[in-house]
Amino acid sequence: MLEKTVSTSYREGKSPFTLSMLRLWRNRLAMAALLVVILYILLALMGELNIFHIKDMASNNNFDLRYMKPFTHIEHLFGTDNFGRDVLSRAIMGTKISLFLGFVSGLLMIPIAIFFGSLSGYYSGWFDDVAMYIMSVIVAIPGMLIILSLIQVAGRSFFIIAFAFAVTGWVGLARVIRGSFMQAKEFEYVLAAKNLGAGDFRIIFRHILPNVFHFIIVRFVLNFVGVIKSEVFLAYVGLSIIGVPTWGTMLDDSKLELMSGNWQNLIAATLFMFLFLVSLNIFGDALRDSLDPKLKNVV
Binding residues for another protein (CB under 8 A): 133-134, 136-142, 144-146, 148-150, 152-154, 225, 229, 232-233, 236-237, 248, 251-252, 254-255, 258-259, 266, 270, 273-274, 277-278, 281-282
Least spacing, CB of residue 26 vs another protein, in Å: 18
DSSP SS3 for 84: coil
Half-sphere exposure of 4 (CA within 13 A, CB side): 2
Least spacing, CB of residue 203 vs another protein, in Å: 27
Least spacing, CB of residue 63 vs another protein, in Å: 26
Least spacing, CB of residue 73 vs another protein, in Å: 24
In the complex with another protein, the residue whose CB is nearer, 29 or 49, is 29
Other CB atoms within 10 Å distance of the CB of residue 149: 13
In the complex with another protein, the residue whose CB is nearer, 36 or 45, is 36
In the complex with another protein, the residue whose CB is nearer, 140 or 196, is 140
H or E stretch covering 220: helix 209-237
Q: How far apart are CA 96 and CA 98, in angstroms?
A: 5
In the complex with another protein, the residue whose CB is nearer, 6 or 259, is 259
Least spacing, CB of residue 236 vs another protein, in Å: 6
DSSP SS3 for 80: strand
In the complex with another protein, the residue whose CB is nearer, 123 or 236, is 236
Helix-then-strand count for the chain, H and E: 12, 0
Report the candidate in 109, 127, 118, 292 with the shortest Cα–Cα distance to residue 202: 118
Handedness of CA 166, 169, 171, 175 (dihedral sign): negative
Helix-helix angle 209-237:158-184, to 10 degrees:
150
Helix-helix angle 264-291:28-48, to 10 degrees:
130
Least spacing, CB of residue 282 vs another protein, in Å: 7
In the complex with another protein, the residue whose CB is nearer, 19 or 144, is 144
